[in-house]
Amino acid sequence: MFKVLIVEEDIKITRWIKKTISDGFPGLSIKGEAKDLANALDVIIKTKPDLIIIDTLVKNKAVFSLFEQIRHIDTEIIFVTSHKKYSLEAIKYNAVDYLLKPLVKVEFNLAIEKSIKKMTTKLINQEMKLMISNIKNVQHKNVKLAIPTIKGFIFLFIDEIIRCEANGAYTTIYTTNKEKITASKCLKEYEESLPANRFYRIHNSHLINIDKVSQYNKGRGGYVIMEDGMQIEVATRRKNSFLSIFQ
């Protein structure tokens, strides 16, 4: 979920923006509101919003000095204003859009959609970089994996993962810290991204960390007992392949 900050003096406009986002964009969450630049800076530093919706003038002060102070924070910007004269200045800060008041819902929604596309692209690029880094360092236990959730990302060391269980289009990840994380990716994607020499899919529903197997018990396919005490059946057709890992 992407975090949004609204910087606007007019409470009616703030309410309109919040309602429009709430009604049409469930992937956005309003994390703060500010009516002056000092307050806005505090909120930005604390919440690091993905998107800032801001007037060009706040308390009769141009807001561009604010962005000079937060250059280290990667955020998208939508300007909403009654003043045309600042449009060129807005371009310098790579604003997603420059909307004139009174705000028009269709134009506002288009600006939000453009912002979401840019923010999503950034997240995908970050995840891809992390995945490539993991592949290059696949032999090391301190490799981290970005786990996408409905709230954002959770970063785990691969060695913290005990097992992954299919849950429809989602995957439930069980960790050594006794956490249970619902990831917004299917099990097959984790089978492909986690190192094959350390993770094995013993069943259609289960991908396990081989290092976290405590015991194997014989049977038609047999079953394993993991470090967290979970007993998991080994698919019959995968039994020989699985056991060969330990020979």
| Helical (H) or strand (E) element with 130 | helix 105-136
| Helical (H) or strand (E) element with 114 | helix 105-136
Using N-to-C axis directions, what is the helix angle for 11-24 and 105-136, rounded to 10°?
Answer: 60
Question: Which of 18-27, 58-67, 68-77, 140-149 shows the lowest mean pLDDT across its residues?
Answer: 140-149
| HEC secondary structure over 8-43 | CCCHHHHHHHHHHHHHHCCCEEEEEEECCHHHHHHH
| Helical (H) or strand (E) element with 129 | helix 105-136
Delimit the domains of the chain by residue range.
2-124, 138-244
Taking residue 104's Cβ as centre, other Cβ atoms within 10 Å add up to 11
Question: What's the CATH architecture for 2-124?
Answer: 3-Layer(aba) Sandwich (3.40)
**CA–CA dist 228, 215 (Å, integer):** 11
Per-residue pLDDT tens for 174-191? 999 999 999 999 999 999
- Section 26-35 average pLDDT: 94
Per-residue pLDDT tens for 227-239? 999 999 999 999 9
**CA–CA dist 131, 146 (Å, integer):** 8
138-244 belongs to CATH 3.10.310.30: no
**CA–CA dist 49, 5 (Å, integer):** 6
The answer to whether residue 196 scores a pLDDT higher than 60 is yes
The pLDDT assigned to 141 comes to 57
pTM beyond 0.95: the answer is no
